[in-house]
Amino acid sequence: MTCCPSLTLRSFTAIITIVDIVVFIITLTYGIQPNSDFLTPKYETLDDFGSRIVCKILKQYQLWRFLTPVFLHGNFLHIVFNIMSQLIIGSQVENMMGIPRFILVYFLSGIGGNVLGVLISDSSAVGASTAIVGLLGVFIAYVIVNWNRLDPSIKCFMLCMISFIILINLAFGLGGSTDQKESRIDNVGHLGGLLTGVFAGMFLINPLGGAPGLYEKRAKITGVCMTCFFFILCLALAFTVKNPKC
């Protein structure tokens, strides 16, 4: 990881941040929600643009709603906190993994967070925070994959710092919800994004110091298996067992 990662328009982190801002401005042009937080798009607009609405996903099979919430934000503070976190965390992960793998883990985490959210919660939600927390999970995967190659003090420091940041994010939230016209923290989505980021990171991160050994190969295989298991289990339960209140 570099200490001072470059951030240019060739960076996917910069591009996705610009997309988030543009989409937010577009949703505001359709009207601002009265009696709500500063610069809150209308709930109907967020619905039309693809917010996570459990009934429409499970009953009407609008599967794109697993992804589209990543590009939507509930109010001004919501998008400000998200893009700040995205630029800080995303630039580090992108420099560590490279753009193609970063894109894959970003969207897998975003979708994974919404998949778990649909399974466990009936709340509708928007925000890039499922993907952002997934990027934090990549740092955990980095430690796991390089467990035998990192100095113990570095492992301890990284795990403590990552755990602290994750706990802060889970406590205060990076994202928002539009359920029942109120702003709420989507902690279930955050958890799903975090798990997906860890699992996907385990098979997308290259180990330090050259060719992978037996441990690193097993870690990658475990990551692939856990990612597939997570998505298959959550989707199967959501579409067969869950009966949302519509």
Q: For 110-152, what is each residue's pLDDT tens digit?
A: 999 999 999 998 889 999 999 999 999 999 999 999 998 888 8
Q: Where are the domains of the chain?
A: 12-240
Residues involved in catalysis: 129, 190
Determine the Cα–Cα distance for residues 205 and 102; give it in Å rounded to an integer: 10
Q: How distant is the alpha carbon of residue 206 from its chain centre?
A: 21
Query: pLDDT truncated to tens, each residue of the chain (246 aa)?
Result: 444 445 554 689 999 999 999 999 999 999 998 888 888 999 999 999 999 999 999 999 999 999 999 999 999 999 998 999 899 999 999 999 999 999 999 999 999 999 999 999 888 999 999 999 999 999 999 999 999 888 888 888 888 888 887 777 666 554 444 444 444 678 899 999 999 999 999 999 988 887 888 999 999 999 999 999 999 999 999 999 998 887
Which architecture characterizes domain 12-240 according to CATH? Up-down Bundle (1.20)
Q: Which of 188, 185, 207 is nearest to 196 (CA)?
A: 188
The partner residues of 52 in beta bridges, in order of sequence, read: 125
User: What proportion of the chain, given as a percentage, has pLDDT over 90?
Assistant: 66
User: Other CB atoms closer than 10 Å to residue 233's CB: what's the count?
Assistant: 12
